Structure 1
Amino acid sequence: MQLSSSLKVLSVGLIFLLIVTLSALYAVERKGRLLAELERDNVTKQRDSLLLTIVEQKERIESFNTLGIKNSEQLTAAKKEIDRLNDRLRSSSDRLLVKAECPVSMSSSTSSGGMEHESPARLSSSAREDYIHLRQMMAEVNQQVIYLQDYIKTQCLR
């Protein structure tokens, strides 16, 4: 009987040892699984954040390209209008009116005070070219300012 009782104690001890060992292994495995899940969640959040950043960057690039195209078209249209104005001024189909005062000529003092020999004031060809050049520069600067304002509104203030 003594042997049977010792065998029972040994069996219970082995079962207890087996249960403790399995519990410890389960705890270690559970901790490893929780750490792996936490790492997976962090990697998923990083991935989602990077994907969102990529989408936002693509949208910004598209917006930037659209802005550049729009302003380029507007500048081209302004330059074409200035070129048409220049052509009309050169062909004398249009005249450029400038507020100016022409001094009265004293050479014909016998005239009745009228300005019968006077011609209207006109720009010289170099002044006309300077005027056209200034108009072009103004159009370019105006478009650059509009472009930069749009750029700041759409790209920087998001």
Structure 2
Amino acid sequence: MRNKLLVAAVVVVGLASIAYAAYSQVLTVNGTGTAAGDWDVAITDITQTAAVGATDNSAPTFDATSATFDVDLAYPGAYATYDVTVTNNGSIPAILSSLTDLTATNAAAPTYITYATSGVTGGSTTLAGGGATNVMSVTVTWDAGSSPDTSSGNSKGATITLNYDQDT
């Protein structure tokens, strides 16, 4: 019995040695890989789509990732709405990772004038390549329920930044 156990142990050690040798061979992989793509996501236009009692202190401006507004509102209930167009002229699909949180802007004086965005959502709005577009609406409003207050001026500026990343 003892001899059988000794033979079995030698066989197990031998098989383990062979298995170890088989799995410890050097594996060499040769080759090259190339990823080609063109990243070209940018704001391409700002158009005023509606205005009631509103005038631009200066025309809205934009660069590749930011849109800047400075609107003067004449009375409570006045507003202006703008469409901001983002175009992906590249070949890499994009996703809107974040956009400016307007909480601090709206909390700044005058507080009765606020900015709001719609049409896009950070983390979920995607933009395919090849000339596809997204449109974000920006609305600046003088709260209709507020009393006129001309002591601090009736205009407010804001810059809204859109951060796009590669959509994976």
TM-score, shorter chain, exceeding 0.5: no
Q: Which has the higher helix share?
A: 1
Q: Which has the higher strand share?
A: 2
Name the TM-score, length of structure 1 as normaliser: 0.26
From the CA coordinates, give the structure whose radius of gyration is larger.
Answer: 1
Larger relative contact order, structure 1 or 2 (CA cutoff 8 Å, min sep 6): 1
